[in-house]
Amino acid sequence: MNYHWDWQFFFQEADDGLKYYEWVISGLGWTTAVSLASLAVALLLGSVLGVMRTTPTRWLVAIGDAYVDVFRNVPLIIQLFLWFFVVPELVPEKMGIWMKQDLPYIVTAVVGLGLYTAARIAEQVKSGINALPRGQRFAGLALGFTEWQTYRYVRLPMAYRIVLPALTSEAMNIFKNSAVTYAVGILELYFQYKQIIEKTSQVLEITIVVTLAYFTLAFVMNRLLAFVEKRTRVPGLISGTGGK
């Protein structure tokens, strides 16, 4: 194979005065920032939608269901393009100009990725709430709780702990999905990967490094949430007794 291996290039200086390994690190930083911020958006909105879909109020269920259907059936890259290039044209002109000129890219990207992931989180939260015996809600109501209080004090604390493994995989997915935001100009890890290949052609070295970086991110996220999972285990459930 006439491929020329060269691991030294990471320490060479690029056009902007930074070294290539610094590009990788900065990409890693942006990937982490975009992913965590989107995860926060997704968890918040996904929880609200998930709860809405389990309420007895018909129209709330309808809104929640419609949201999930729309956001799950359009590819992520197209959703991001819609937020960047289509929505600014549809809103009132002044707001459109503001979105195009003053709103930082990262905000739009985080909102886009967050809203996309929220649909998935909503599914998990809903299934978590539905996994509880309905007696839990009745018990709450019998204690004089309002509908909202049964969520706040009885059902959600259980539901989250039940679906935590599923949420863990969503949290890992969001790191992978954040790579797609390169297409709308976020300088995250995949963007830097692409750029380094264009500048240096050292495809194999950079592929190995970036792959390991994504591995590490997924692994850290996984361990972190496994720790949370262990701490919040519900005693008495199959998962709570370690399968015994």
Partner 1 sequence: MSDFDFSVITANWHFLAEGLRYTLQVTVTAMIGGIFLGTLLALMRLSSIKPLQWFAAGYVNFFRSVPLVQVILAVYLILPLILQFVTGKLIPIGAENSAYFTFTIFEAAYYSEIMRSGIQSVPRGQIAAGYALGFTYGQTMRLVVLPQAFRNMLPVLLTQTIVLFQDVSLVYAIGATDFFGAADKITQRDLRPVEMYTTVAVVYFVICFALSRLVKRLQARIAIIR
Contact residues for partner 1, defined by CB under 8 A: 1, 3, 69-70, 72-79, 81-82, 85-86, 89-90, 172, 175-180, 182-183, 190, 193-194, 197, 203-204, 207, 210-211, 214-215, 218-219
- How far apart are CB 192 and partner 1 at their closest, in Å? 11
Pick 154 or 186: Cβ nearer partner 1: 186
Put residue 144 in one of left, alpha, beta given phi > 0 → left and psi -120 to 50 → alpha. left
Query: Distance between CA 94 and CA 98 in Å, rounded?
Result: 6
- How far apart are CB 215 and partner 1 at their closest, in Å? 5
Pick 77 or 132: Cβ nearer partner 1: 77
C-alpha distances out from residue 200 to 6, 7, 100, 124, 205, Å: 10, 11, 33, 43, 10
Pick 23 or 190: Cβ nearer partner 1: 190
Pick 43 or 209: Cβ nearer partner 1: 209
- How far apart are CB 82 and partner 1 at their closest, in Å? 6
Burial (CB count within 10 angstroms: exposed 0-12, middle 13-18, buried 19+), residue 127: middle
Of 183, 157, 200, nearest to 8 by C-alpha is 200
User: Residues 6 or more apart from 173 whose CB is under 8 A from it?
Assistant: 117, 120
Pick 92 or 235: Cβ nearer partner 1: 92
C-alpha distances out from residue 114 to 42, 175, 214, 228, Å: 5, 12, 19, 22
- How far apart are CB 121 and partner 1 at their closest, in Å? 16
- How far apart are CB 178 and partner 1 at their closest, in Å? 8
Pick 117 or 150: Cβ nearer partner 1: 117
Q: For the chain, what is the largest distance between any 2 Cα atoms, rounded to a whole number of angstroms?
A: 76
Q: What is the DSSP string of 128-169?
A: HHHTS-THHHHHHHHTT--HHHIIIIIIHHHHHHHHHHHHHH
- How far apart are CB 100 and partner 1 at their closest, in Å? 11
